[in-house]
Amino acid sequence: MNPVTRALWFIESHFAQEITLDDIADVAGVSKYHMSRAFGLATGASVMQYVRARRLTEAARRLACGAPDILSEALEAGYGSHEAFTRAFREQFGLTPEAVRAQGHVNTMQLKEPIRMDETFLTNLAPPRFVDGKTMLIAGIGERYNSESSAAIPAQWQRFTPYLGHIPGQVGRTAYGVIGNTDDTGEMEYISGVEVADFTKVPKEWSRIRIPEQRYAVFSHDGHISSIKRVWNTIWNKWLHESGRKVAEGAELERYDENFDSATGDGGFEIWIPLKS
């Protein structure tokens, strides 16, 4: 059973109780970082966002059935006050708890039902090669994303691509997508960038990151760029689980060499996963 399947079972069995990301990661047998990345890739939601949505969905059902005490529903859903519960409920559904109780049904509401893992959201991967990566300085356009907003990453590349080949101090012609600074909510920083000799002449508004020497598992994929989420999902929810390898703290890399055609999305790419020794 992969980490996300374990996590979904635990959440569905325990969301009425007080559970944390640490609890869920422990049951899944992985780090909090691994849990956040794997869950977001497989489901399109952060772990705790899903927990909250499931709690609020079940609260909505009880309210529609006439639950008399909204404060009790708030406490059961993990909120310390009527006000906090109402605010979260309205953000989730666009209605107040009172309105749902008054209408007596949830037929028009977008409830968060239990997720069933989609085993088709995997791809065949060749075994990785293992590489000792050198220290690199990467500079480029950076933005923060969560599991849902990450669909905007191609638009970020569209903004960055015209700079390629014209960046002061650019080293080589390879472009990198750098994923780092991921927090417990599953939000991450994504940098579309290139290696540079130093940071002194790059635009001041750009993001900069120093990638230290690191051991990587490198996955090569010759398919279209549209398959990249399947590749990421397969690495985090299949290969890492089956191989027993542990991810090290550090940036994950997407590598696009001269064979990659940004106009068509063809030419293949590599994904570099930092590993603990």
pLDDT for 19 beyond 70: yes
Per residue in 176-190, pLDDT (tens digit) is 999 998 887 889 999
- pTM reported for the whole predicted model: 0.85
pLDDT recorded at residue 224? 93
Q: Mean pLDDT across the stretch 88-93?
A: 96
Highest mean pLDDT among 29-33, 118-122, 126-130: 126-130
What is the Cα–Cα distance from 76 to 84, expressed in whole angstroms?
A: 13
Give percent of the chain with pLDDT exceeding 70.
99
- The answer to whether 255 touches 174, Cβ cutoff 8 Å, is yes
Amino acid in the structure at residue 219: F
- Would you give the distance in Å from CA 44 to the centre of its chain? 7
**pLDDT for residue 157 is more than 70:** yes
pLDDT, tens digit, 9 for 90 and up, residues 257-267: 999 999 899 99
Q: How far apart are CA 47 and CA 15, in angstroms?
A: 12
Contact 177, 254 (CB under 8 A): yes
- In angstroms, the CA 194 to CA 164 distance is 8
Q: Measuring CA to CA, which residue among 21, 257, 221 is closest to residue 122?
A: 221
**Nearest CA to 27 among 44, 45, 51?**
51
pLDDT class for 172, splitting at 50, 70, 90?
Answer: very high
What is the rounded average pLDDT of the residues 78-99? 95
- In tens, the pLDDT along 145-155 reads 988 889 899 99
CATH number of 3-103: 1.10.10.60
- DSSP letters spanning 84-151: HHHHHHHHHHSS-HHHHHHHT--TTS---PPP---TTS----PPPEEEEEPPEEEEEEEEEE-TTGGG
The strand pair at 136-145 and 188-196 is best described as antiparallel
101 has a pLDDT exceeding 80: yes
- Mean of per-residue pLDDT scores for the chain: 93
* pLDDT score at 119: 67
Domain ranges of the chain: 3-103, 129-274
Domain 129-274 adopts which CATH fold? Multidrug-efflux Transporter 1 Regulator Bmrr; Chain A (3.20.80)
